[in-house]
Structure 1
């Protein structure tokens, strides 16, 4: 297999991993997070202060205590370098968007999100 074919295969596998995350967020299926994230994956953000939590646990708690709402998802960029990759995603809601920066590693032949950092952008910030 040539390097380009291998990278295209990795790209498809990364997109599959990201789609598990999107499924968890849009349908509130917490089990999808276990397919997308490494068990030790972290999620980090700054609101009033810096926060750092286990991604699967925190996202599962969120979807299990809130109702799903209409969400438009998109992959804005994916970069791959060997067994490491990053992806920029957007989850767009009525009044705001989450901009996610995912870091992925190929662990035991499977792409897993190992770190998520994100920011929130209101609709007025886009205009």
Structure 2
């Protein structure tokens, strides 16, 4: 028996994954909370290291932080993505004037839509 992902062509699958990644890459720089929310599974976690400690937020907590952030010019980039069946991963970065976020996502495909279920992020200060 074929799974849903086996019935979808490679090009169709790429398109579906890119829809989700673009919701993040285009939504985050302009603080489009609805578009960001659409990219994530409702139970997603966002994690980073702050002062040598693991910090994590639920999706609602993360969206609140983004909504409160200062709006800055940003260059979003998709560095890579891959998938096997109904799971995938992506590597992106958002470059601001003085820092960049380097993000890695775990993705799942549910009901024909790819969603970010886990985000780990690194903040790199720029010289």
1:96 aligns with 2:99: yes
Query: 2:31 aligns to what?
Result: 28
Equivalent residue runs for 1:67-106 within 5 Å: 67-106=70-109
TM-score normalized with structure 2 length? 0.87
In the TM superposition, what is the alpha-carbon distance from 1:59 to its structure 2 partner?
Answer: 2.9
Measure the CA separation in 2 of the matches of 1:7 and 1:117: 26
| Structure 2 residues not aligned, in runs of 5+ | 1-5
TM-score normalized with structure 1 length? 0.87
Number of aligned residue pairs: give it. 120
Measure the CA separation in 1 of the matches of 2:103 and 2:61: 15
**Structure with greater helix share of residues:** 1
In the TM superposition, what is the alpha-carbon distance from 1:24 to its structure 2 partner?
Answer: 2.5
